């Protein structure tokens, strides 16, 4: 199944902007919706596309502008919607959990209750998170029960459950996708891969929470976009798909790898600080279902992706250093 008209919720996000670049490359028309205005082009890879005139952007907030969003979608009539939108950040969700619940659950349910009525909508891909499972040292399969341990994870587990209920009751064409940690050129500067590179190149101390013992897998932005495309093309509505490399690292491993590539001593860069509240030690996903049923595989190794991200930071370092390096919460 192929589509030529997509709406992307959270189009300014790292994953959203990379998916748009891929969709434009495939010749599709794309409507992007985000609550923030478009930022610098160094964070928006679709701006380099020869087909950027097939993309339109509208600034709208799902909490405040739901009627506007519905009207835009009704007018555009996308065959598929890809949903990256929502309150992110794990540790920060403890400061005001209600904000995460209002945006990631209540506002989304209101949206889905309208979308379920449209016969022209053939697929709705929700980009979820393995954090819904809580911490596990074993490989997680799609059949595992959720056990969220932070408000952020609770909000994703709840809306995922709601979407599956909508599928069972109304046949809503949802496909749930859960990815390893995104990374690559253009990622938000506060994420661990670009942050380590920036701090190493600028001589700043990197605060390593809990000593960096948490175990993660990392997936390159292009492989995320490819995974979503495969889910859209051959995935089954009502199903969950995991996308993850088979290679896992501690956060300290990641930092030390980057240090090695930049010829920086880790002890000169790292300052160990207490861990963040509610942080899961490990979530490691089994992606054999996506590999087998969707014919998906990662095409960029972590080492190649890190090198590409280093090149991006170096090429834009003057502008990057002038921008905020820390997460700025937007209610």
Q: Is residue 263 part of a domain?
A: yes
Do 34 and 118 belong to one domain? Answer: yes
Burial 209-238 (b: 16+ CB within 10 A, else e): beebebbbbbbbbbbbbbbbbbbbeebeeb
Do 138 and 9 belong to one domain? Answer: yes
Q: How many domains does the chain have?
A: 2
Q: What's the whole-model pTM score?
A: 0.95
For residue range 73-118, what is the model confidence (pLDDT) as tens digits? 999 999 999 999 999 888 889 999 999 999 999 999 999 999 999 9
Say which CATH number the domain at 195 has: 3.90.25.10
Q: Which of 47-56, 119-128, 278-287 has the lowest mean pLDDT?
A: 278-287
Do 190 and 176 belong to one domain? Answer: no
Please state the separation of Cα 87 from the chain's center in Å: 11
Do 125 and 193 belong to one domain? Answer: no
For residue range 154-197, what is the model confidence (pLDDT) as tens digits? 999 999 999 999 999 999 999 999 999 999 999 999 999 999 99
């Amino acid at each position: 199944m192929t589509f030529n008209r997509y709406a992307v919720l959270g189009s300014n996000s790292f994953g959203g902007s990379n998916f748009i670049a891929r969709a434009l490359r495939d010749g599709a028309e794309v409507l992007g919706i985000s609550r923030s205005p478009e930022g610098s082009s160094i964070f928006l890879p679709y701006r380099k596309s020869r087909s950027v005139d097939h993309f339109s952007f509208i600034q709208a907030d799902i909490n405040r502008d739901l009627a506007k969003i519905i009207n835009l979608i009704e007018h555009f009539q996308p065959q598929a919607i890809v949903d990256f939108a929502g309150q992110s950040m794990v540790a920060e969700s403890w400061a005001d959990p209600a904000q995460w619940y209002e945006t990631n659950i209540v506002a989304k349910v209101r949206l889905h209750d309208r979308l379920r009525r449209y016969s022209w909508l053939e697929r709705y891909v929700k980009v979820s998170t393995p954090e819904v499972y809580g911490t596990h040292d074993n490989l997680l399969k799609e059949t595992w029960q959720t056990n969220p341990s932070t408000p952020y994870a609770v909000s994703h587990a709840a809306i995922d459950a709601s979407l599956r209920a909508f599928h069972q009751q109304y046949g809503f064409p949802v496909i749930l996708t859960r990815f390893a940690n995104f990374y690559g050129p253009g990622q938000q500067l506060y994420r661990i891969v670009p942050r380590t590179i920036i701090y190493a190149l600028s001589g700043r101390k990197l605060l390593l929470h809990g000593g960096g013992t948490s175990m993660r897998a990392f997936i390159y932005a292009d492989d995320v976009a490819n995974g979503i495309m495969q889910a859209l093309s051959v995935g089954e509505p009502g199903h969950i798909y995991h996308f993850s490399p088979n290679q896992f690292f501690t956060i300290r491993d990641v930092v030390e790898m980057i240090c090695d590539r930049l010829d920086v001593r880790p002890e000169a860069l790292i300052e160990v600080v207490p861990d963040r509240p509610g942080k899961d030690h490990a979530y490691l996903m089994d992606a054999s279902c996506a590999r087998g049923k969707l014919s998906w595989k990662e095409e960029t190794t972590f080492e190649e992706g890190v090198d590409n991200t280093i090149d991006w930071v170096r090429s834009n370092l003057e502008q990057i250093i002038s921008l905020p390096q820390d997460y700025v919460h937007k209610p």
